Amino acid sequence: MRSQILLALLPALGTEAIRIIHANDDGWAELYTRSFHDALVAAGHDTVLTAPAENKSGTASSDAEPSPRTTACQYDSCPANTNQPIGRNESSPRLNWVNSFPVTSMRYGIDTIAPPFWNGQAPELAVSGPNVGSNVYVQVHFSGTVGAAVFAAKERKVPAIAFSGLSSGTLAWNTTPAPTRSLVYAQVASKLVDAVVSSGKPYLPEDVFLNINLPKVEGKCTDPHNFKFVLSRINVGLFSAKDVYHCGTDRLPLEASVALSDDCLVSVSVGDANDKTTAPKEKQDIVLDKLRRLFTCLP
Ligand SMILES: *[C@@H]1O[C@H](CO)[C@@H](O)[C@H](O)[C@H]1NC(C)=O
Ligand SMILES: *[C@@H]1O[C@H](CO)[C@@H](O)[C@H](O)[C@H]1NC(C)=O
């Protein structure tokens, strides 16, 4: 009886808190990333941020050993002449910079920087972004945001999600007050993370990443409650094998058309970490089963 009552209470306590490694490509001091970090912490997760010391947008899957940094980090977020390859915010040590690429930041985060915070354990989930600007279709191949997530999924077998927001304009971490778009992206991204976590382990099929594009924050899409999620695909599927049967068809909509609609629709593509294209139907199937309650059909 008592255990039944406890079980009934569990949903009210929210999602299980997990270990999350967080990278990006716009730089460790970019506000979208910091707002998302704050939202993950507020949701109870144990999150460590490891991201480039400066903007490394468009560097795809480049990876190189970090070199000693002599100039200040972006937005003066670290002093000049640290002469260190990696560094952190001493008063918030879960915030770390790596003087190299997005993939390198993810690699150092998983292998070196985060484990001491977690008694040597590995992350349970990897997230990247939200990128400042979209990452759809061809952009996916050049994106460092995607590159970092793909590294985690493929090379470290950590389930990974890449987030991008269509509202652009870069902002320093200490912009006050934080503009709505940064806070809305953080909340919507955090909601998706919680849906994935609630779906239970394994969070995603092996060698898969989720590619998420959040629509522009404007008009009715300034209220996070108005955002809905649509299962999509990354690349044009003209000659591709069938997608999972969903919303009355076996061809999923393109992520670009979902995120560019004016209905506050978030595109959720199941990506293949081997080649950054749409994952095969078998893997889409698993993700759809896990997140079915989250998804809506195109209007
Ligand atoms: C980073 O660089 C890219 C491409 O060079 C640019 O489009 C973007 O606005 C920059 N972002 C930041 C955070 O400076
Ligand atoms: C470092 O952390 C402190 C305390 O949380 C914060 O006030 C400061 O803005 C942070 N600076 C950077 C660059 O992260």
Joined tokens for residue 141: 């191949």
pTM for this entry: 0.95
CA of 160 to the centre of ligand 2 (A): 26
Q: Which ligand is nearest to the CA of 88?
A: 2
Please state, as a whole number, how many other Cβ atoms lie within 10 Å of the Cβ of residue 269.
30
> For the segment 18-36, what is each residue's pLDDT rounded down to a tens digit?
999 999 999 999 999 999 9
CA of 55 to the centre of ligand 1 (A): 6
Domains of the chain are 2-294 (3.40.1210.10)
> What's the whole-number average pLDDT of the chain?
95
> For the segment 108-147, what is each residue's pLDDT rounded down to a tens digit?
999 999 999 999 999 999 999 999 999 999 999 999 999 9
- The helix/strand/coil state of 214 is strand
Distance CA 285, CA 270 (A): 10
> For the segment 214-230, what is each residue's pLDDT rounded down to a tens digit?
999 999 999 999 999 99
Joined tokens for residue 117: 């915070």
CA of 275 to the centre of ligand 2 (A): 37
Give the CA distances from residue 278 to residues 4, 153, 207, 234, 244, in Å, rounded to whole numbers and listed in that order. 42, 14, 12, 5, 11
Residue 271 sits at φ, ψ, to 5 deg, of -100, 150
Distance CA 130, CA 143 (A): 12
CA of 89 to the centre of ligand 2 (A): 6
CA of 101 to the centre of ligand 1 (A): 14
Q: What is the pLDDT of residue 13?
A: 52
Nearest atom, ligand 2, residue 95 CA: 14
> For the segment 166-201, what is each residue's pLDDT rounded down to a tens digit?
999 999 999 999 999 999 999 999 999 999 999 999
Supply the residue whose CA is at minimum distance from atom 1 of ligand 2.
89
Contact by Cβ (8 Å): 197, 250: no
Which residue ranges have their beta carbon within 6 Å of ligand 2?
29, 77, 89, 91-92, 95, 173-174
- What is the distance, to the nearest Å, from the Cα of residue 136 to the centroid of all Cα atoms in its chain? 14
Distance CA 151, CA 21 (A): 12
Q: What is the pLDDT of residue 238?
A: 86
Does any ligand 1 atom lie closer than 6 A to the CB of residue 30? yes
Contact by Cβ (8 Å): 32, 132: yes
Q: What is the pLDDT of residue 291?
A: 97
Does any ligand 1 atom lie closer than 6 A to the CB of residue 58? yes
> For the segment 73-119, what is each residue's pLDDT rounded down to a tens digit?
999 999 999 999 999 999 999 999 999 999 999 999 999 999 999 99
